[in-house]
């Protein structure tokens, strides 16, 4: 597997990057308050109007952006994602249980196992791909020989690769395709305004839904390429982990697919990383910025603007969700080795690679680096650690409390 978090630098883009900002159109202070700002009395005070005490009082009286709305959005969308994933998984499992004869007299009380269910899905996919290729051959029969051979051979290779990719990689390819389509939209000048407004998360904009849309948004090709490589490298391992842990739970439910579980995991991990970054921006960086702007040491507006630039910048990218997949994979498969994408002949233990990435983000926070969203990275990593410990039990609880599965669990 490839790992790219160690490539973080001020001049190079990592494959686990959540980029802050886009171009020069960022609006660091684009929020507006519904309540009026506190008025500063310019009468006689024991402290001068520019004193540290008066500046501190002014900052403390400012109405900070609400935490309730982003918190409710994170909890609500995450809960909805897992509820939908539980229903989809239960219905798919129920369909294949019935198709394989569960409940029929000739099977007795034995239910098909997970391996049998997943194998049946693979055979069904193979049959559907074969039928599609056959239809394509019929529809291209009138084309010239060279064109017909090119179309059919290309379709055959694509179908064969898709079938051989396995469910985990297929899911990651689907997510990558969604990210690629949003990247294409970024490249259309007429859509730039729409993309900045709806696919770039600005903590001070009041648009909390962009915590979700920005997960799949990449405006730069290298950003998309590196994150895609990381997702394809570690997403399959994380998917295997979810399937393995589910089978080891006490009295496990039958499960024909882990695709929906991984999608809910990926979305929730990305949301959590965005949420962590959002809280840090509005509750730590914003008060610090306001104090600096009201400080007597700020002798000129240009100096204040220079200091404010980049402190609270919009961000985008799937790196938080990918960090969660990487850390969970590292805990599940500690003996695995990874290689650097720029040095594929150099391998190192996955624990060392992930630990190096986390340490680099911690250093970035301490040193005040603004190129990457280090808080989003650490939020994703912490989510991966927590999910490795408690994710299987939580997913089992979700499935038992969502409709769609009518048969008893495997004994």
Convert the pLDDT of each residue in 272-299 to its tens digit: 999 999 999 988 888 877 777 666 655 4
Residue 173 has pLDDT above 90, yes or no: yes
Per-residue tokens: 171: 């899911």
- Tell me if residue 119 falls in helix, strand or coil: helix
What is the count of structural domains for the chain? 1
The answer to whether 194 touches 249, Cβ cutoff 8 Å, is no
pLDDT at 185 over 90: yes
Give a yes or no: residue 292 inside a domain.
Answer: yes
Would 366 be classed as within a structural domain? yes
Task: Determine, yes or no, domain membership for 165.
Answer: no
Domain extent, residue 388, equals: 2-20+63-114+184-400
Question: Could you tell me if residue 150 is inside a domain?
Answer: no
Question: Looking at the domain assignment, is residue 214 inside a domain?
Answer: yes
Could you give the percent of the chain with pLDDT greater than 90? 59
Domain presence at residue 15: yes
The answer to whether the predicted template modeling score (pTM) of the entire model surpasses 0.85 is no
Query: Is residue 123 classed exposed, middle or buried when 0-12, 13-18 and 19+ CB atoms within 10 A define those classes?
Result: exposed
The confidence score (pLDDT) of residue 204 equals: 87
> How would you classify residue 408: left for phi > 0, otherwise alpha for psi between -120 and 50, otherwise beta?
beta
Contacts of 298 (CB under 8 A, 6+ apart): 292, 304, 307
Cα–Cα distance measured from residue 121 to residue 17, given in angstroms and rounded to the nearest whole number: 35
R_g (Cα) of the chain, nearest Å: 25
pLDDT single digits (tens) 311-329: 678 899 999 999 999 999 9
Q: What is the mean pLDDT of residues 125-154?
A: 96
Any domain includes 52: no
CA dist 120 and 254 (Å) reads 14
Cβ 310 vs Cβ 369: under 8 Å: no
| Mean pLDDT along residues 385-405 | 95
At residue 52 the predicted structure's pLDDT band, cuts being 50, 70 and 90, is low
Q: Token pair for residue 138?
A: 């019929």
Query: Is residue 209 predicted with pLDDT exceeding 70?
Result: yes
pLDDT at 273: 97
Whether residue 60 is predicted with pLDDT greater than 80 in this model: the reply is: no
Using alpha carbons, list the distances in angstroms from residue 60 to 33, 56, 126, 204.
15, 6, 63, 18
Residue 78: count of CB within 10 angstroms of its CB: 18
pLDDT higher than 50, residue 255:
yes
Segment holding 315, helix H or strand E: strand 315-316
d(Cα 162, Cα 185) in Å, to the nearest integer? 25
């Amino acid at each position: 597997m490839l790992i790219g978090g160690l490539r973080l630098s001020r001049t190079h883009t990592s494959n686990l990057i959540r980029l802050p900002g886009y171009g020069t159109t960022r609006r660091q202070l684009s929020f507006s308050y519904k309540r009026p700002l506190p008025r500063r009395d310019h009468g006689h005070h024991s402290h001068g109007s520019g004193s540290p005490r008066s500046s501190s009082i002014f900052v403390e009286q400012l109405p900070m952006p609400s935490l309730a709305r982003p918190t409710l959005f994170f909890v609500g969308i995450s809960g909805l994602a897992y509820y939908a994933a539980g229903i989809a998984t239960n219905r798919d499992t129920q369909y294949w249980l019935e198709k394989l004869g569960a409940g029929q007299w000739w099977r007795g009380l034995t239910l098909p196992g997970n391996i049998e269910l997943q194998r049946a899905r693979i055979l069904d996919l193979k049959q559907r791909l074969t039928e599609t290729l056959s239809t394509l051959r019929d529809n291209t029969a009138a084309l010239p020989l060279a064109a017909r051979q090119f179309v059919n051979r290309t379709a055959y290779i694509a179908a064969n690769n898709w079938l051989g990719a396995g469910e985990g990689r297929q899911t990651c390819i689907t997510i990558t395709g969604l990210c690629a389509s949003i990247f294409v939209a970024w490249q259309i000048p007429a859509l730039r305004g729409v993309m900045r407004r709806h696919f770039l998360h600005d903590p001070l904009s009041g648009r909390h839904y962009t915590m979700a849309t920005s997960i799949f948004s990449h405006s730069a090709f290298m950003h998309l390429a590196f994150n895609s490589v990381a997702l394809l490298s570690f997403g399959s391992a994380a998917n295997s982990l979810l399937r393995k842990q589910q089978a080891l739970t006490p009295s496990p439910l039958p499960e024909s697919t882990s695709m929906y579980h991984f999608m809910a995991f990926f979305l929730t991990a990305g949301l959590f990383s965005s949420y962590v970054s959002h809280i840090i921006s509005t509750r730590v960086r914003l008060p610090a910025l306001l104090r600096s702007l009201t400080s007597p040491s700020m002798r000129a507006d240009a100096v204040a603007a220079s200091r404010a630039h980049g402190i609270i910048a919009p961000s985008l990218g799937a790196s938080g969700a990918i960090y969660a997949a990487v850390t969970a994979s590292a805990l599940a498969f500690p003996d695995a080795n990874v290689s650097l994408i720029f040095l594929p002949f150099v391998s190192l233990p996955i624990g060392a690679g992930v630990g190096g990435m986390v340490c680099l983000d911690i250093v970035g926070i301490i040193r005040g680096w603004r190129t990457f969203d280090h808080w989003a990275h650490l939020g994703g990593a912490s989510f991966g650690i927590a999910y490795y410990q408690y994710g299987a039990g939580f997913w089992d609880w979700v499935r038992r409390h969502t409709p769609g599965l009518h048969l008893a669990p495997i004994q």
